[in-house]
Amino acid sequence: MGRVSSENPTPGTGTDSPFQHENTSRDEAPQFVLPLVLHLEKTAPPARTDALETAARAVLVMLSDPRSLDDGEWAQLMRDWQDARIRKVVRRARGAEWRKACALPGLTVTGKSAEVRVFPPVPLDGWPKELAKLQVSGTELDDPEPPADPDVTGPVLWMSPDVDMSAGKAMAQAGHGAQLAWWELSDTERADWRDAGFPLAVRTAAGDAWAALTTSGLPVVRDAGFTEIAPGSCTVVADHPALRR
């Protein structure tokens, strides 16, 4: 029943990025987490890549929802979450558990085979009981066939070829990558991405391309090492056309 992921992306340069400057007080601030729940029925599990892409879009949908902005009902929670260490946790639900999760305030994003519900941030130790009891084990997913090459003229979240992650961990990391790209974009670029339905692809980078990606100036997710992998591991490079400058 533990956390799938509890990570801190590398600082961005966008003016509204909570990681724009080093700030050790982030660890002293009240800690919040963004919960994501994967709909995982035994008989029809989603494809791994689709689950990663759907989780990334779910994070973007939450970030851009009017309730998360300005004086919206979730806005203060979103600010509190982003003022501390950015944490995302992915759990799974099926049957009645999924229906109970869907009854809580949040947003459901559907991919080709995956459904992910994202909720407003909650205190690290203050999860709603309907979510607190959900398990993380059993979230290992596979792709029935290798995913097609991505459209590199659009946004691509490149996953590290060197870091082995569970599906839940990788979903959270993809969400981090999408969030870093969001922070780096202008308001107009954000609106264009949102209005297009947040198209994106998640793919594992080729080994010989990964080093160049991590030094390209594009946003890079570096894991804080709370779960599964070593602190400082580069896990995702967020490659959005507007950031290829």
CB 150 within 8 A of CB 203: yes
User: Could you state, in chain order, the average pLDDT of each consecutive group of 10 residues for the chain (245 residues)?
Assistant: 36 37 58 96 94 98 98 97 88 96 98 97 94 80 94 96 91 96 97 98 95 94 65 87 90
Please tell me the predicted confidence (pLDDT) of residue 229: 63
Q: How many residues does the chain have?
A: 245
The reply to whether 25 falls in a domain is: no
Alpha helices in the chain (DSSP H): 48-64, 75-83, 95-102, 129-132, 167-184, 187-195, 207-214
The whole domain housing 163 covers 30-243
Q: What is the pLDDT of residue 103?
A: 98
Question: Is residue 173 domain-resident?
Answer: yes
DSSP label at 237? E
> How far apart, in whole angstroms, are the C-alpha atoms of residue 80 and residue 208?
39
206 close to 185: Cβ distance less than 8 angstroms: no
The pLDDT, as a whole number, for residue 8 is: 44
The closest of 128, 91, 109 to 200, measured between CA atoms, is 109
Distance CA 37, CA 98 (A): 8
* Nearest partner of 90 among 116, 113, 69, judged by Cα: 116
Residue 22: inside a domain: no
Query: Looking at the domain assignment, is residue 167 inside a domain?
Result: yes
What CA–CA distance (Å, rounded) separates 124 from 89? 10
Give residue 3's pLDDT. Answer: 29
pLDDT number for residue 15: 38
113 within some domain = yes
The answer to whether residue 164 is domain-embedded is yes
pLDDT computed for residue 40 by the predictor = 95
Total domains, the chain? 1
Written as six digits, the tokens of 92 are 């799974």
Say what the pLDDT of residue 116 is: 98
Contact (CB, 8 A) for 221 and 236: yes
Q: What is the pLDDT of residue 224?
A: 60
Q: Is residue 19 part of a domain?
A: no
> What's the CATH number where 193 sits?
3.40.1490.10
Q: Which two tokens stand for residue 145?
A: 């066939």
In a domain, 165, yes or no: yes
| Predicted pLDDT of residue 227 | 58
